[in-house]
Amino acid sequence: MTSSFSSASSSSSSKPWIYDVFLSIRGEDTRKNFTDHLYFTLKDAGINTFRDDNELRRGEDISTELLQAIQKSRISVIVLSRNYANSRWCLEELVKIMECRRSCRQLVFPIFYDVDPSDVRKQTGSFAEAFARHEERFVLQKDKGKVATWRMALTEAANLSGWDLRNVADG
């Protein structure tokens, strides 16, 4: 894993990247375990990694700083966990990441943390429950397009080659 990150960051030295890696996580699901280990392992390997350390702010729009961090990252690692889709903030991050994948040729690697990749792809299980709540809320706000955009981004991310940690000891 380290060699692909190192070669990606060194070959892009002429690009406007500020970060080698942007970590997209649902903090309450993985912050105190898997993503802390991943973050510090990347940092110890000399990989400049962005992770939003602030708790998610309810009802606020995703910050400009966070959107810029995504855009200025060479690689995004999306840790898709059971409650990832519950967070509008995470879903907005994901939309921006997938846009950067298309427009800036950003590399995107999904990690399926304690979730079945097909649940993410098809939005079943906990993802179906989260989207039912989002659809109910956004129907009232007359903004169903936002939910459709989130669904497409989630499907696109789940279709990428990634790591399914359910098959690895303790994730």
Q: Is 93 a catalytic residue?
A: yes
Contacts for 130 with CB less than 8 Å, ≥ 6 apart? 83, 85, 86
Q: Annotated catalytic residue: which of 28, 65, 92, 93?
A: 93
Sequence-distant (6+) residues with CB within 8 A of 94 are 24, 78, 150, 153, 154, 157
CA distances, 154 to each of 7, 45, 118, 141 (Å): 27, 29, 11, 22
- Give the residue numbers annotated as catalytic, written as ranges: 93
